Amino acid sequence: MNETTTDAQDGAEHPIVLDPFAFWPASASKISGLGGIEIDPDPAYVFHTHYAEVGPGQVRCTLRFENMIASFGTIVLRINALGMESGARAETIKTWSVALREIAAADGEIATTFDAAPGTRYAVLGHAYGETKSAATKLDLTLQTIQGSKIFEEQLADARKSVFGRRLFRRANRMISEDSATLTDPVSQTCTSMQFEEPAYGNWLTRLHLPMHKHRKQWEFIYILQTLERYGMLKPGARGVGFGVGIEPLPAAMAAMGVDVLASDLGNDDARARDWSVSNQHAASVEQLRYPAICGDEAFERHVKFRPVDMNSIDDDLREFDFTWSSCSLEHLGSIEAGLAFIRNSIGCLKKGGLAVHTTELNLTSNDDTIDNEGTVLFRRRDIERLAVDLASRGHLVAQIKYDLGNTQHDDYVDVPPYSNDNHLKLALGKYVTTSFGIIVRRGDR
């Protein structure tokens, strides 16, 4: 790591030069002419720097590709953060994507900024998913602290605690944010129209081979994947367990990234499974989760397993996973209390520091009257907040809550039966209006 010095006039530090290929020095980049000569197991690999410590504050990250030419393709860039403590795990703190042709047109240069915390190292990495045609002779990459001060450090630390942290629940205004929900940096949040317009959403549609539908069920799949990737869970060798998976494409998408997945659903002998089978929403075997366009057969068979599991009675041997998820399943467990109990119990499947991501139905009409003790229940805000406080009291960390209702024409529309395949963000269920809501929990030390 290069030593940094501070410019006395403006408080900026001299740039730190990172080796773009230090993490996998032998691997050839997907951008022709870069990296080593060996074929990387990850066909999307472009580069991955070493981890370096930078001064706390706002940091500019600059990439310069020399002699770059590009016909088509998109590069997905990430900033990863890694704490100094023993056993720390890297987390992705920023993700953005750029068309390679745009970089070539800008003489090969691209830059962004991120907030760096004290006592943390950072790496930059890039992947190009799908077909790509590009070449360059060299890649230079630098990090430079451009705004650093004690006040900034304190503001940054406080902001981080307001998103993931035990102090989140000492004051109600820390637990709930009035900010707009974004897919790029997901927290516990509602589905809104603008999230469909973010580059991250389009990237996942490409990787899942799905057409765009402004439908909350599609949002749930992408919200779960984006959350897991954003918080560093979708890595080769990671282990995840999914509940009530039906025939969703998430296990295949995870397997394509080298993640070991245990997918589960109700057993065939469970009477409740028959109703879901009629509507083709129940999985009875691993074969129903096979999506060859998303994941090749070899990787799928190596990484995806299936077993029957009752979400109301999770098997005791399901332990030590890196992450767990469910998509619009916990509202079908018989009652609000059963759904909340499932979320608590799912955290027991995780390693310390593991992540749980669950989506469900949120009642937008009332914080009192709702549907309970039926086939589908509607969670109220007070149910979500009670769960969050309870989980915090148990030592777990809950991502900040955003009840953003959106401000577009799509957000104002309420779909009624028979429901549409598009423009289905909010819907009428009986006398209530509901939408999809995702909650993120990181397991604490207990």
User: Comparing 98-102, 224-228, 263-267, which segment has the lowest mean pLDDT?
Assistant: 263-267
Position 22 in a domain: yes
Is the same domain home to 91 and 171? no
Mean pLDDT of 268-292: 62
- The domain total for the chain is 2
Considering the domain boundaries, does residue 395 fall inside one?
yes
CATH number of the CATH domain containing 402: 3.40.50.150
Q: Which is higher by pLDDT, 275 or 288?
A: 288
Cα-to-chain-centroid distance, residue 259: 14
- Are 25 and 145 part of one and the same domain? yes
CATH classification at residue 118:
2.60.120
- Over residues 189-204, the pLDDT tens digits come to 999 999 999 999 999 9
Same domain, 72 and 92: yes
Both 205 and 91 in one domain: the answer is: no
Check whether 87 has a pLDDT greater than 90. Answer: no
Q: Judge whether residue 140 has pLDDT over 70.
A: yes
Residue 272 has pLDDT above 70, yes or no: no
- Domain boundary (161, 179, 211) is at 161
pLDDT value, residue 85: 73
d(CA 440, CA 357): 5
Answer yes or no: do 394 and 362 share one domain: yes
Q: Is residue 54 part of a domain?
A: yes
Query: Among residues 161, 191, 220, which one ends one of the domains?
Result: 161
Q: Quick count: other Cβ atoms within 10 Å of Cβ 428?
A: 14
What is the maximal distance between C-alpha atoms in the chain?
A: 73
190 lies in which domain range?
166-442
- For residues 123 and 171, state if they share a domain: no
Q: In the prediction, which pLDDT does 392 show? A: 83
In whole angstroms, give the CA distance from residue 116 to residue 104: 28
Split at pLDDT 50, 70, 90, the class of 273 is very low
Query: Higher-confidence residue: 65 or 159?
Result: 65
Last residue of a domain, one of 134, 161, 188: 161
- For residue 207, being part of any structural domain is answered with yes
> Could you tell me the pLDDT band of residue 94, with boundaries at 50, 70 and 90?
confident
* Judgement on whether residues 87 and 105 belong to the same structural domain of the protein: yes
Cα atoms in the Cβ-side hemisphere of radius 13 Å centred on 368: 0
Q: Is residue 316 part of a domain?
A: yes
CA end-to-end span of the chain = 36
The pTM assigned to this predicted structure is 0.63
Asked, for residue 2, whether it belongs to a domain, the answer is no
Rounded percentage of the chain residues whose pLDDT exceeds 90:
65
Give the span between the Cα atoms of 256 and 87, in whole angstroms. 26
Per-residue pLDDT, 163: 45
Do 59 and 135 lie in one domain? The reply is yes
> Is the domain of 334 the same as that of 430?
yes
**Domain shared by 39 and 62, yes or no:** yes
Residue 228 confidence (pLDDT)? 95
**Does residue 368 belong to any structural domain of this protein?**
yes
Mind listing the pLDDT tens digit for each residue in 28-45? 999 999 999 998 788 899
Q: Give the confidence band of 127 by pLDDT, cuts at 50, 70, 90.
A: very high
Q: Look at residue 442 in the predicted model and tell me its pLDDT.
A: 93
Residues 123 and 212 in one domain: no
Same domain, 76 and 176: no
**pLDDT at position 169:** 32
**Residue 9 within any structural domain of the chain:** no
